[in-house]
Amino acid sequence: MASDPGQNKINAQAFYDLMFNQCQPRAAIEAYVGDVYIQHNPHVADGKEAFIAYFERMARDYPGKKTIFKRAIAEDNMVVLHCHQLWPGSDDYAGIDIFRFDENGKIVEHWDVLQVITDGSANDNGLF
């Protein structure tokens, strides 16, 4: 039986908020991730402990970092979050995060694409 797309969307946002905004990556992993965690971001190693270590370091290095959800889209076992990431003392980003959920409604795989938010644009539409 497949997991529920609507609940997956809620859980993806709760996971992201807990690990990124609340700086509690271990609690996020324990609550929302399945038996495996496959990572496609080249800066983060595979697995739960690697994820936790990376985001614990980000919490220390960038206190006050925050993400704002702009869009959340769910279909079948996939959720896409369109986010505005604010990194104090560094670049801000427009990000797309993609999560795959298992049949139990747990996150088991992650992809992301990030774009630095620049001052200039050839249009007036913005990134969000």
Q: Is residue 39 part of a domain?
A: yes
* Predicted local confidence at residue 3, as pLDDT: 83
Give the range of the structural domain holding residue 49, as residue numbers without chain letter.
5-116
Number of residues that this document lists for the chain: 128
Question: Residue holding tokens 């970092």?
Answer: 65
pLDDT, tens only, 53-66: 999 999 999 999 99
Low-confidence ranges of the chain (pLDDT < 70): 1
- Structural domain count, the chain: 1
Q: What is the CATH number of the domain that holds 110?
A: 3.10.450.50
Q: Is residue 122 part of a domain?
A: no
pTM of the shown model: 0.94
Q: Is residue 78 part of a domain?
A: yes
* Predicted local confidence at residue 112, as pLDDT: 97
Q: Is residue 92 part of a domain?
A: yes
HSE (side-chain half, CA atoms, 13 Å) at 61? 8
* Predicted local confidence at residue 1, as pLDDT: 63
CA distances to 70, 118, 127 from 94, in Å? 10, 10, 7
